[in-house]
A and B are shown apart, each in its own frame.
Chain A
Amino acid sequence: MLKEVNSILPVLAVLIPMLFSALIFLLGEKHSRWWGWLSFIGSASTLSILLLMLPGSLKGTIFKIYLMMIVPDVWMFLRVDQFGLVLGISAATLWTLASLHSIGYMKGEHALKRYFSFLILCLAWTAGVAASGNLFTYLIFYELFSITTYPLIVHEETPEALAAGKKYMIYILVGSSFLLFAIIYTYFLSGTLTLSKPGILLLTYGRTPLLILFWCYMLGFGVKAAVMPLHGWVPDAHPIAPAPFSAILSGIMVAVGAFGIMRTVFNVFGATLVRELGTGIIMAYIVSFTIVVSSLFALDQDNLKRRLAYSTIGQMGYIILGTVLLTTCSVWGAMVHIANHAFMKGTLFLCAGNIIKQTGKHNISEMRGIGKKLPLTMAAFTVAALGMIGTPPLVGFISKWYLCLGSLDANEVIFVVVLLISSLLGAAYFLPIVYTAFFQKSREEVSIEADGGHVTAAAETGGRKSLEAPKVMIIPVLLGAAGVFFVGLFAEVKYFPLSLIKIAASFFLK
């Protein structure tokens, strides 16, 4: 049974990263080596605060706190339910890994103070999004998150980065305008913005306003969740950002959009109302299109991070598909995929970061033989890629299993087909990378063989020297890969995401 208790923990989860961000900002150039470590410690402390809520949350406790009244009758209200906690813990975990990775990856880069202070500040807003108890609070943190990521996306300050940043901003602004309108309209219709009920809108408000509202929400969150055709910013912004931040962009930021769609469906409209409106199935077809087409686009990319970005677009489609099908299993699959995808895609992007940092190669066609040079990185990459394809017992399989079960429950076999096609395409665009890395020979090796086996000293060092990344970069990657494996293996064990999600889903679908 769910019970609500007042607690300071949700505030701490937002405040701690903010304080660390301020601390980094105030530390002078003299202490520059501490910036990265402070951001790591900040993420880890946030993670531990969130983990403190885990045992209670599993018993059905919801942690809430009223912070202050912003405008009359509308409060800044934090409320961590089981579903929010899943997003929060996934985010904090990924942030911990990514900030550790950043220490190595960003070595020698410019504007590090800005990078690290904004990086950790973004975690504060993500924790806020996860802990929002009403749409107003949600909107505040969501917008702050969108804005704060901008300096990180344009970090390189090159014309391409600025162009990608501009594109990102325009997409996000259009989306947030729809969102603002939708939230205000919701407030006008229902007089409340709370996210603590399974639905605040009623069919008596009339079908037309509700339909307008539904599609405004979908447009608003769809931009961030990269639903085609609103995905335009993703393939530009992801490759241009520094790799550890791409991991966050892809693993969490985009998922925050999907999280918003889930909140809309479960807490604003309510499962019953969405069924009555019949909009769920239309949305399901739209995202099926997204899933298939994005995978096709991914096949065509040679830039590794761009291929991963397209894969993200497809994966968000899974989450939304599971949400709008509204059966117990599909909702489980969708919710757990937020956590699972964060692990997998985070690991993949961090691996891509290692490759870029150590070899300077961005394109898959240049990656022949790097498996020998970066064995640990590529092993982790392989695990995560297999997870994306949906190989049991990795995490990706768990999500797909429940999504397929859910589609069958909803009597929509077509979506099972979509999921299978997507898996096949996933194999088609991930396995060649692994193949290229491990089984193709690099140009140096080829030239050695062409020489008839005469190994010159230069070729020796060029071909065999291990380029493996330093510890701070390799540990997060390996931890991520371990997560992909163990979270999948122990999926049904208590304390793992699925146990929380089952509690949340039973409340949402009641």
Chain B
Amino acid sequence: MIEFSQHCPVLMTITLIIGGALTPIVSISRKKFSFWWAFFVSLLAFFFCSCAVWRLYTMGPISYWLSGWEPPYGIEVYFDYVSTITFLMTALGILVIVYSKRYILHDISEEKLPTYYTLVLLILGGMVGFSVTGDMFNLYVFLEILSLSGYALIAITEEKLNAMASFKYLVMGSVSSVSVLLGVALLYNVTGTLNMADIALRLQQFGPTTAVYVALVLFIIGFSVKAALFPVHAWLPDAHALAPSPVSALLSGLVIKIGIVGMLRVLYCVYKLGGPVDFTSVTNFMGWLAAVTVLVGAFFAFFQDDIKMIFAYSSISNIGYILMGISLVSFTQPERGYLGMMGGLVHVFNHAIIKSTLFLCAGALIYKTGFRKLSDLRGIGKKMPITCGVLTIAALSIAGIPPTAGFICKWYIILGTIEFGKPIFAVALLLGAMLVFAYYIKIINALFFREPNESITEVDEAPLSMLVPIIILAIGCLVMGIFAYLPLAVIRPAAATMLGLPSTYLPLGG
């Protein structure tokens, strides 16, 4: 078992990518078979991922050398505490695929089913690979795999607006990919290696040259676009709101987190706190941008009537929380950034769960009624009580009402801002959360308390294949809050190792 689990990080990436590539072939005679194939592949990936997480939990990080070539010569796959996000990716992948079974035929023709499932598996494979690789060039390759699948998935419905949104995303995304690629090239030029751990070591020798600084800035720009940090967030609302709902759930829940994972890898695994480059001026600046992002996202969400648009803007706001959390670091006293880092990391997980719940619920409403505006969805709560009930749980959760999942991040990030001596960030966060809740109240009012819209009188509850995923996710929203120590068992060592502290570091009397 131990021998086997060591291979799991590689196996899950390969399973998803090869499984994705095989989808059109296996479903050549029966298009609908592609669903069962994708379901099977995602289950298999989930199984491998569970093994890897189990191994991480019992024996610590896995460093795996492809074909046994020792790094820096061979490619290294590194499954550490941050990589546990792959657990979420594969799990959410299964749910999204199950959900798509009924939903996606609403948006695309049966002919295109294999294409759709191929792209879903590839985007999952790209994200999983991105999170486990220990090699800079692979990082770029996986980034491209997932971005390209993302553009295609948005445009898959063939609507004009979707093509526009996808193109907008493509333009911004290309800028981001090129920056990352240039950054990788510069680092390779300076250090002559592509392995992350090796680069980190050699940077110590070479010291801070201009190229190293430029590379850092390029990485930050590249990943900021992917994460939709203000002011490079403009592509997000259209892309996330117009994509088919299961795709929105993937994009908003997971793909924007890739930007975060990328930043974590570059800042805290390659450049490192206490390393040759003092990057805290960059992270400080990022912290301020994050505070603005929180407010901008929350503010614009306020004026939306389209339910998915609201969720998309709220994603921007939430990315602000996460970035605020991970940018509160001090170069000389790493332990001062611990709580904020923990809050940011925990929200990477929690926001993924909450936001996919919201998008999948919105999808169920759109699937059943054909409406996507709040003003048209009035009174739907009486017709679709389960969907709307779940949506309410997720809405309370994203507003950070204790004891739901969203509260945990508020708790730790505010603790972090105080510990770091920047309570002004806490004010921005609280203000953002307040605005967020104000418009979720608007949603809840529209769903439950407003005069019902007459044209939706014959609507009934969503089909089971859509209800089961959203109910599982809603339970996740509650469990991640009430039993928050479960995810924190992984996130605490993750935060500590990111800051270069021993993985057993426990502050505040813990």
Contact = CB atoms under 8 A, between A and B. Distances in A.
Interface in A169-190: 169-170, 173-174, 177, 180-181, 184-185, 187-188
Interface stretch (B72-80, B143-151, B200-208, B443-451): B443-451
Contacts of A187: 415, 508
A140 B403 contact: yes
B438 A180 contact: no
A72 B485 contact: yes
A181 B430 contact: yes
Interface in B406-422: 408, 410-412, 414-415, 418-419
Interface in A109-148: 136, 139-140, 143-144, 147
A481 interface: no
Given A72-B488, A72-B492, A139-B402, A181 B445 contact: no
A185 B418 contact: yes
B359 interface: no
A136 B427 CA distance: 20
A162 interface: yes
A139 B506 CA distance: 24
A191 B412 CA distance: 14
Given A147-B401, A157-B449, A188-B415, A73 B509 contact: yes
A443 interface: no
A70 B484 CA distance: 6
B396 interface: yes
Nearest to A170: B438
A357 interface: no
A157 B450 contact: yes
A169 B403 contact: no
Contact of B437 (A68, A140, A173, A181): A173
Contact of B419 (A165, A177, A188, A192): A188
B485 A180 contact: no
Contacts of B488: 71-72
A185 B414 CA distance: 9
B408 A71 contact: yes
Given A147-B401, A184-B415, A169 B410 contact: no
Contacts of B120: none
B68 interface: no
A393 interface: no
A166 B441 contact: yes
B482 A169 contact: no
Q: How large is the interface on B (under 10, 10 to 19, 20 to 34, 35 or more residues)?
A: 35 or more
Interface in B479-510: 481-485, 488, 492, 506, 508-510
Contacts of B430: 177, 180-181
A355 interface: no
Contacts of A184: 411, 414-415, 418, 426
B510 A72 contact: yes
A187 B402 CA distance: 16
Given A139-B402, A181-B430, A71 B508 contact: no
B437 A70 contact: no
Contact of B402 (A69, A140, A177): A140
Contacts of B448: 151
B507 to A, nearest CB: 10
B433 interface: yes
A474 interface: no
Nearest to B379: A157
Contacts of A169: 437-438, 441
Q: How large is the interface on A (under 10, 10 to 19, 20 to 34, 35 or more residues)?
A: 20 to 34
A140 B148 CA distance: 43
A43 B306 CA distance: 42
A166 B442 CA distance: 9
B411 A71 contact: yes
B434 interface: yes
- A157, A169, A173: most-surrounded residue (chain B CB, <10 A): A173
Interface string B372-396: 0000000000000000000000001
B212 to A, nearest CB: 36
Q: B interface, by DSSP: helix, strand, loop or mixed?
A: helix
Contacts of B412: 71
A80 B510 CA distance: 25
A143 B400 CA distance: 10
Given A157-B450, A181-B414, A73 B508 contact: yes
A143 B441 contact: no
Nearest to B402: A140
Contact of A177 (B396, B423, B434, B510): B434
A139 B404 CA distance: 12
B245 to A, nearest CB: 26
Interface string A67-99: 011111100100000000000000000000000
Given A166-B441, A173-B438, A144 B418 contact: no
A180 B401 contact: no
A73 B510 contact: yes
A139 B426 CA distance: 18
A169 B396 CA distance: 13
B321 to A, nearest CB: 14
A180 B445 contact: no
Contacts of A139: 402
Contacts of A136: 402
Contacts of A73: 508-510
Given A70-B485, A188-B419, A154 B449 contact: yes
A483 to B, nearest CB: 34
B392 to A, nearest CB: 10
Contact of B403 (A70, A162, A181, A191): A70
Given A143-B402, A188-B415, A174 B485 contact: no
A180 B437 contact: no
Contacts of A173: 434, 437-438
B508 A191 contact: yes
Interface in A289-306: none
Contacts of B423: 181
A144 B508 contact: no
B402 A71 contact: no
Contacts of B441: 150, 166, 169
Interface string B111-152: 000000000000000000000000000000000000000000
Nearest to B444: A150
A510 to B, nearest CB: 25
A140 B403 CA distance: 6
Contacts of B484: 70-71
Contacts of A140: 402-403
Nearest to B492: A72
A143 B410 CA distance: 14
Interface string A59-70: 000000000111
A191 B483 CA distance: 21
B475 to A, nearest CB: 15
A134 to B, nearest CB: 13
Interface in B88-119: none
Nearest to A161: B449
Contacts of A165: 445, 449
Nearest to B414: A184
A72 B408 contact: no
29 contacts: A68-B482, A68-B483, A70-B481, A71-B411, A71-B484, A71-B485, A71-B488, A72-B488, A72-B506, A72-B510, A76-B403, A140-B403, A143-B401, A144-B401, A144-B402, A154-B449, A162-B450, A165-B445, A165-B449, A170-B438, A173-B434, A180-B414, A181-B423, A184-B411, A184-B414, A184-B415, A184-B418, A191-B508, A191-B509
Interface of B: 396, 401-403, 408, 410-412, 414-415, 418-419, 423, 426-427, 430-431, 433-434, 437-438, 441, 445, 448-451, 481-485, 488, 492, 506, 508-510
Given A70-B482, A72-B506, 16 more contacts: A72-B510, A73-B508, A73-B510, A136-B402, A143-B401, A144-B402, A154-B449, A157-B451, A169-B438, A174-B434, A180-B430, A181-B423, A181-B426, A184-B411, A191-B509, A192-B509
8 closest residue pairs by CB, A with B: A177-B430, A140-B402, A73-B510, A72-B510, A184-B414, A71-B484, A188-B418, A140-B403
